[in-house]
Amino acid sequence: MQVNSPDVQPFNELPEALVEELLDQCGSMGETLSHSFRNLLDNKGSIRNDLVENGLLRHDSDLLTNQSYPTTCGVDGAYTLERLLSTDMVAVAGVAVEGLTPPSETRHWEYPHHLCEVLPARHHDKTGLVSKAIMLMMELELASSAPHDVIFLDGSFTTPLINIQQALYTIDGVDNHLSEILLERMKTTMEAYETVVHARRSDQQFVSVPKYTSHNQITKILLKEGVYEDRALLSFVLHAGEYIRPFPFKVPDGLWSFAEPLLKETGSLKAIIDGMSNLYVVYYRPFLHSPTFRLELPRSVATDKNRLSMVFEAIRLQCGTPGIFEPYPLYLADRMVKQMGKVIPAIRKATTQEMLQFWDQAEAEVYLLMHGYRTEIGR
């Protein structure tokens, strides 16, 4: 890493007075956070007692018996949008990466599997929204086709449906090629979505692992208020190997308001609604060096002792490395898709060179029209 890079010298571009004021406010912020954390630690014992009294606290030793060494896969995606003077350039990709392979496993994915689209798109403020929806569609397709025992998805099970709906409601005016990609993938995506939210096959467990959540169903039960987010609270309270027994997922308000293209997929949509209405949530802390994970599970997985045991075993096998706060295949997929930020500028330069081969006017015009203002990245 270069010494003068922004990661090493984060304040180089800021006025000195602004930096001093920002650093002065660190003291009060630290005091506020310390007081909040202290309250959690002081109440840890009573919170654990409340968990026991409510029948929520369990230990994975009650489930984990014979080791099955499940194979695992992590799915993540990214989209990149670079706004040029003349147009936008969009790249969307989904990646599926195999986790650490069990010693007895002879099958092996020789390389990460992926789906991708790169295209120009005319200026529109909803291009990023549609690109994100396509990205989530790719993730669902990859997850449903993975041949592994446990498939980890980044984010919540509800995220794709919410974003696809938003994209469909705002699709008018978006570049035709981009909107066509969205609509053409609809049938395949809905079938994949149905597969994922039901997990009907006993040899395939789909698990959503959101990194960031604002859910506070547990804290409302215990503390009678939603000051703390569930995952943060339980990372303080749970010991290694402990979990909160599966409880029903609270579906976000307004989730069942559908755009017309979704309504056309009547069969799959009805099955998806049924699956979404029967999702469960489990909080699990495999080791002291890892945080508590929020796991969203289809009903068929959450209510089956053997299948839930396989999910816990997969997490323990894939979260053994300190410093990696998510299952290893999700970590690998995340690292790969983060590189999407470097893709579009490189593609823009290569495209510009290709254009110049057939341009018989002043080259400056091409460089001006292909000038990039900013790059937006989403995952």
Residue environment code for 80-118, b if the CB has 16+ CB neighbours within 10 A, otherwise e: bbbbbeebbbbbbbbbbbbbbebeeeeeeeeebbbbebe
Read off the amino acid at residue 313.
E
Query: pLDDT at position 364, please?
Result: 61
What does DSSP say about strands 280-285 and 242-248: parallel, antiparallel, or unpaired? antiparallel
Would you place residue 63 in the very low, low, confident or very high pLDDT band (cuts 50, 70, 90)? confident
Query: pLDDT at position 257, please?
Result: 61
Q: Which range, of 2-16, 37-51, 104-118, 163-177, averages the lowest pLDDT?
A: 2-16
Please check the confidence at residue 164 and state whether its pLDDT lies above 60. Answer: yes
What does DSSP say about strands 88-98 and 72-84: parallel, antiparallel, or unpaired? antiparallel
CB atoms within 10 A of CB 189: 24
Residue ranges of domains in the chain, CATH in brackets: 60-341 (3.30.2170)
Would you place residue 89 in the very low, low, confident or very high pLDDT band (cuts 50, 70, 90)? confident
Query: pLDDT at position 94, please?
Result: 92
Please check the confidence at residue 266 and state whether its pLDDT lies above 80. Answer: no
Query: pLDDT at position 3, please?
Result: 45
Mean pLDDT of 300-317: 93
Please check the confidence at residue 247 and state whether its pLDDT lies above 80. Answer: yes
Query: pLDDT at position 220, please?
Result: 81
* Residue 92: its H or E element: strand 88-98
Query: pLDDT at position 42, please?
Result: 79
Query: pLDDT at position 313, please?
Result: 94
Would you place residue 18 in the very low, low, confident or very high pLDDT band (cuts 50, 70, 90)? confident
Mean pLDDT of 100-127: 78
Would you place residue 260 in the very low, low, confident or very high pLDDT band (cuts 50, 70, 90)? low
Of the ranges 98-107, 213-222, 253-262, 285-294, which is most confident?
285-294
Query: Residues near 239 by Cβ (< 8 Å), separated by ≥ 6?
Result: 285, 288
Q: What is the pLDDT of residues 175-198, one digit of tens each?
A: 888 889 998 998 899 999 999 999
Q: Which range, of 70-79, 258-267, 278-287, 342-351, averages the lowest pLDDT?
A: 258-267
Query: pLDDT at position 301, please?
Result: 95
Query: Residues near 45 by Cβ (< 8 Å), separated by ≥ 6?
Result: none
Instruction: Name the 3-class secondary structure at 338.
Output: helix
Query: pLDDT at position 256, please?
Result: 62
Decide which of 258 and 15 is more confident. Answer: 15
Decide which of 80 and 9 is more confident. Answer: 80
